Structure 1
Amino acid sequence: MRFSHFDLNLLRVLDMLLTERSVTRAAENLHVTQQAMSGSLRRLRDYFDDPLLVRIGREMELTPLAQGLVTPVREALLTVEGALNYRPHFDPRRTARTFRIAISDYGSFVIMPPLLRLLAREAPQIALDVRVLMGHSFLALEQGDVDFVTTAHPTDLYGPYRPGDLIRRERLFSDDFVCIADRNHPDIRGGLTPDLYRTLRHTAVNFGPNVETIVERAWKAHHFRPDIGSTALGFATMLFMLPGTVLVATAQRKLAEVLAPPLNLAIHEAPMAIGTLEEHLFWHERSTDDPAHSFLRGAFREVALALHR
């Protein structure tokens, strides 16, 4: 196989076929006809002397060779993309660029507003495509589908998913935990004591199987099994569910300071040691020297410094 004989236009086609495992879906995503995609697949099969995609039952599966091509093909495309996006003289006020960020609802309320205000002042043409933080967000980061992940560290809070060796990390800031309840909660007017905390009904966050929050870990460490009256998909969502109820939530202080006043909620010091959240920024090594990427990392850093103060 000679590189000089390979049509580089087929590289993007190959990446899409390896990702979608379907000629039809690959054709739709690349806005070409199914006939054209089938022709490209034939050329790829001839070049690699391998079927690449084989039908097993009603599904198409990758051959062993195709499975081995998934990562290097994606890396090759991302390297080309990085080369095309590279600008030796970066002007934040003139650069139009979209960055994809996987972030929790906590980060959406605590980090995103000051970050967007900073960008509006210093880089008005930079846009942020915000994605929901999920267990596979690190895989998306490695494959180039997102540019940044911001989440709590250690990452084992998110189940079996772990950053790969080429993922870089920077600590942004820390946050502690407080208790939040309706301002007119009938049982907490005299303060929240450890005994009262154990008798109240709680609301908790449920991120899904094999994902344990810092709060849940603290409860286990204190041998406390709370009476859960409701669960929520995220910490911010949990606080929005509190007004007018007798539930108590345990959440991050910075998030509580943002949401408690408009929701008429009261913040109480946690009567149980919960621990500390360490918020980190993650990116792939391939983006480290990208001037625009470096600028946005600096913007995150500036926002984090203000939050720390």
Structure 2
Amino acid sequence: MRFKKLDLNLLVALDHMIELRSVSAAADRMFMSQSAMSNALTRLRDYFDDPLLVQVGRRMEVTPRAEAMRPAIRDILVRIEATIDAHPEFQPDQSTRTFNILLSDYSMRVLMPSVFQRIAAQNATIKINLHAQTDLPQVLLERGEIDLLISPEIFMSDEHPSALLYEDNYVVAAWKGGTYGDVDMDQATFETASHAVMIPPGTVKSVEASLLEKAGIKRNIDVQTFSFSVLPHLITGTDRIATIHGRLARLIAPQAELVTYPMPHILPPLRQMIQWHAYRDNDPGLNWLKSTIEDAAVQLDDPFTKPIN
């Protein structure tokens, strides 16, 4: 198909080349030969009268013109994909569609097992790719590289619809056999103790770090990790404590021999959200998956309970 003498198939090729900064990698992704992709690049250069990609050292870089066009190209392709994927009905037990979900390992541990059980109960034949959280998840959503984003409310984009999945509180966790296995966890004790914390990839602070800072509560941090789900295990057998999600604590505490205490200062609950691209608002397949995830979230155990001892 052509529009103003431009073969629109070339936009797909250009999108991949801009993203991958590589003609050969783009060719592999589109199951084309490298010579065919090189020919596509030549035609694009002629049409736009711009080199688009240039060799810099051992890699290729995009020109300012190509970088400026990328959001518009992505917007066009996402609209087309949304139209193609949106069928009048969606039958999960007959579909081979692949869904991409971006989430943290906390959500993967707390929520996704229940989601997969519900998918299996419907004999669904879909495929799901779970992607690790990044510092700019909204960008991947905008580009259509992920179908759903599961993340705290503060990371939601104002440009796309979202819905609350569930709330979670924060608790203080300590090893049962350690110094803090049976104490009055007041603010002074909390601030004096050594802490293990999780630092999200590409960011300076986690959600609870920002909340504690806002509350004027300090932590003596001597261990940092990149994983929420491993954090509780890192304090087992030590005198360190950790601030973790209540739902995660209830799952892991028996394995890691932990006790939990209420926070010395009440923090606002974590509001875990689900977000999707505005163009996919009427996508039956995506709406089915969202409903499945929302049903699983409703059935989660209530973390707003007594401390685990």
- TM-score under structure 1 length normalisation: 0.88
- Correspondence for 1:159: none
**1:235-254 superposed matches below 5 A:** 235-254=228-247
Point out where structure 1 has 5 or more consecutive residues left out of the alignment.
156-161
CA distance in 2, matches of 1:190, 1:58: 59
- Compute the displacement of 1:12 (Å): 1.9
State the Cα deviation string for residues 164-197 of structure 1 (Å, max 9, x = none): 62x2211111111111111222343244343332
- Compute the displacement of 1:290 (Å): 0.6
- Correspondence for 2:40: 40
- Compute the displacement of 1:149 (Å): 0.9
State the Cα deviation string for residues 134-177 of structure 1 (Å, max 9, x = none): 1122101110111111111222xxxxxx7262x22111111111
- Compute the displacement of 1:200 (Å): 1.9
Change over 3 Å in CA distance of 1:56–1:263 after alignment to 2:
closer
Is the aligned partner of 1:25 residue 2:16? no
Change over 3 Å in CA distance of 1:38–1:263 after alignment to 2:
same
CA distance in 2, matches of 1:58, 1:234: 34
**1:85-234 superposed matches below 5 A:** 85-155=85-155, 163=157, 165=159, 167-207=160-200, 210-234=203-227
- Compute the displacement of 1:248 (Å): 0.9
- Correspondence for 2:266: 273
Identity over aligned pairs, percent:
29
Secondary structure at the aligned position of 1:100 is classed as strand
- Correspondence for 2:307: none
Mean Cα displacement is larger for which, 238-247 or 299-308?
A: 299-308
Q: Which amino acid aligns with 2:132?
A: V
State the Cα deviation string for residues 72-123 of structure 1 (Å, max 9, x = none): 2223223333333232122222222221111011101111111111111125
Q: Which amino acid aligns with 2:110?
A: V
CA distance in 2, matches of 1:50, 1:195: 63
- Correspondence for 1:13: 13
Is the aligned partner of 1:300 residue 2:306? no
Change over 3 Å in CA distance of 1:4–1:239 after alignment to 2:
same
| Contact 1:23–1:37 (Cα < 8 Å) also in 2 | yes
- Correspondence for 1:67: 67
- Correspondence for 1:256: 249
Secondary structure at the aligned position of 2:169 is classed as strand
Is the aligned partner of 1:288 residue 2:308? no
State the Cα deviation string for residues 187-243 of structure 1 (Å, max 9, x = none): 432443433323222111222565322332343234333222311213222112122
**1:42-57 superposed matches below 5 A:** 42-55=42-55
| Contact 1:110–1:254 (Cα < 8 Å) also in 2 | yes
Change over 3 Å in CA distance of 1:90–1:228 after alignment to 2:
same
Point out where structure 2 has 5 or more consecutive residues left out of the alignment.
303-309
Mean Cα displacement is larger for which, 66-75 or 171-180?
A: 66-75
Change over 3 Å in CA distance of 1:63–1:189 after alignment to 2:
closer
- TM-score under structure 2 length normalisation: 0.88
| Contact 1:214–1:274 (Cα < 8 Å) also in 2 | no
Secondary structure at the aligned position of 2:230 is classed as helix
| Contact 1:173–1:308 (Cα < 8 Å) also in 2 | no
